[in-house]
A = this chain, B = another copy of it.
Amino acid sequence: MYDGIVQDLIDEFGRLPGIGPKSAQRITFHILQSPSFDVSRLSILLGEVRDKVRFCEICGNVSEQDRCGICRDPRRNPTLICVVEDAKDVAAIERTREFRGLYHVLGGAISPIAGIGPDDLRITSLMQRLADGTVQEVILATNPNLEGEATATYLSRLLHTLEIQVTRLASGLPVGGDLEYADEVTLGRAFEGRRTL
């Protein structure tokens, strides 16, 4: 609908996840019409992210160095490893400030439908990290959905042979949620995991 470049930029924004044609148009016009928006800064950051950001050689988290800030931090507890699907999950858990151990990013979850098997995940490097006996507990923090549960089950069987405690994050009612609106599976899990007060 627009002349050349404007439509090209709309299309390019539209390729990004969660941005539909209307949003892409709105963003493009915002950039066109607000002189305060620093286009060069966004351009430079796009290039830098692609060039400089890599994945931590130990845990697989995003990092600008060979090893990420968490793996380099001597105050983190090296006897605890939290296994997550994605680097985004590391950030989510860090925000809780509840966990002071290390992470291991699998890079996805087992999904026969999407054609992702154990060999496509960073499982070998996890086993290597567990080999020297430092780690005492592995917390499986894959998502509480079909793929995440399958991955957790697979890993717990694999880790069963080692002398390491394997735990899974609790499922239950979300804090601040309403019992009436909880789905039956979540409510069932909340019953299963009930605690003595």
Contacts and interface: CB of A to CB of B under 8 A. Distances in A.
Interface stretch (A36-44, A144-152, A172-180): A36-44
A30 interface: yes
Interface stretch (A15-23, A130-138, A163-171): A15-23
A182 interface: no
Given A49-B5, A64-B4, A27 B37 contact: no
**Chain A interface size range:** 35 or more
A122 B13 CA distance: 29
A62 interface: yes
Interface in A1-29: 1-6, 8-9, 12-13, 15-19, 23, 25-29
A76 interface: no
A12 B45 contact: yes
B9 A46 contact: yes
A3 B49 contact: no
Given A40-B47, A42-B46, A68 B3 contact: yes
Given A5-B53, A39-B46, 9 more contacts: A15-B37, A16-B30, A16-B31, A17-B27, A18-B23, A19-B19, A29-B86, A32-B53, A43-B43
30 contacts: A2-B62, A2-B91, A3-B53, A3-B62, A3-B63, A3-B69, A4-B64, A6-B53, A8-B45, A9-B48, A12-B42, A13-B42, A15-B37, A16-B27, A17-B27, A19-B19, A19-B23, A19-B27, A25-B91, A28-B49, A31-B46, A31-B50, A32-B49, A32-B53, A32-B62, A42-B43, A42-B46, A43-B44, A43-B46, A43-B47
User: Which 3 pairs from chain A and chain B are nearest by CB?
Assistant: A43-B43, A1-B91, A9-B45
Interface of A: 1-6, 8-9, 12-13, 15-19, 23, 25-32, 37, 39-50, 52-53, 62-64, 68-69, 86-88, 91, 94-95
